[in-house]
């Protein structure tokens, strides 16, 4: 099957369970922001992250793929999503991000003022800063969706807030391979 289907030519795209949504809508906007975040993390990863940081980024990227599935499911299909056993972002995932952030903070990484991405001449670190900014955009888009009456689980809303904080820390901590 070709990736080119023409199904989106009318301004709508497919969601899970045969549903469709406007490409200009908040749900698709949130999905797009998460997709951009995953791509930004991929670029940072390909730029030569330290092994420990790359392992964290890998786990985050895996979660983002599942999270896109969650967002591609309309609220009325949530039961079907759960029955299928598809991946979800849960409270334990938020706690993982918090734990990793605290772990790096205990090593001496603290907020001392606004960062200037790229000042270290490290593409990997600058890539993590780009990913952090995109994570903030994804967070705003998810909140917009939620505030428009589309229930977004609290764990998903919190995940992006913790993720952007962790990415800020990792951009200060990472040393290239």
Confidence of residue 160 (pLDDT cuts 50, 70, 90): very high
Q: Which of 77-91, 98-112, 153-167 has the lowest mean pLDDT?
A: 98-112
7-62 residue pLDDT tens: 787 898 988 899 999 899 999 999 999 999 999 999 999 999 999 999 999 999 99
Q: Kindly tell me if the per-residue pLDDT of 139 is higher than 50.
A: yes
78 close to 56: Cβ distance less than 8 angstroms: no
Predicted local distance difference test score (pLDDT) of residue 9 = 79
Q: At what angle do helices 51-71 and 123-147 cross, to 10 degrees?
A: 20
For 13-40, the DSSP string reads: EE-GGG-EEETTSHHHHHHHHHHHHHHH
Q: Kindly tell me if the per-residue pLDDT of 175 is higher than 80.
A: no
22 close to 29: Cβ distance less than 8 angstroms: no
- 149 — alpha (psi -120 to 50), left (phi > 0) or beta? left
Q: Kindly tell me if the per-residue pLDDT of 157 is higher than 70.
A: yes
Predicted local distance difference test score (pLDDT) of residue 112 = 67
Of the candidates 160, 140, 130, which has an alpha carbon nearest to the alpha carbon of residue 41?
Answer: 130
Q: Give the C-alpha distances (Å, rounded to integers) separating 159 from 59, 106, 122, 152, 170.
A: 13, 21, 26, 11, 16
Q: Kindly tell me if the per-residue pLDDT of 6 is higher than 90.
A: no
| Cα 173-174-177 angle, rounded to 5 deg | 150
Q: Which residue has the higher pLDDT, 164 or 119?
A: 164
């Amino acid at each position: 099957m070709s990736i080119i289907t023409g199904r989106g030519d009318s301004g709508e795209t497919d969601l899970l369970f045969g549903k469709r949504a406007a490409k200009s809508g908040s749900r698709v906007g949130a999905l797009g922001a998460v997709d951009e975040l995953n791509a930004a993390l991929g670029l940072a990863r390909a730029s030569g992250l330290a092994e420990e940081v790359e392992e964290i980024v890998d786990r985050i990227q895996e979660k983002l793929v599942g999270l896109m599935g969650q967002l591609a499911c309309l609220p009325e299909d949530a039961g079907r999503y759960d029955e299928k056993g598809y991946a979800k972002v849960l409270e334990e995932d938020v706690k993982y991000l918090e734990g990793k952030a605290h772990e790096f903070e205990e090593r001496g990484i603290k907020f001392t003022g606004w960062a200037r991405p790229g000042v270290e001449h490290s593409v990997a670190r600058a890539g993590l800063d780009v990913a952090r900014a995109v994570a903030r955009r994804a967070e705003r888009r998810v909140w917009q969706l939620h505030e428009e009456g589309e229930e977004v689980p609290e764990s998903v809303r919190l995940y992006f807030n913790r993720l952007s904080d962790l990415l800020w820390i990792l951009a200060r901590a990472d040393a290239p391979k």
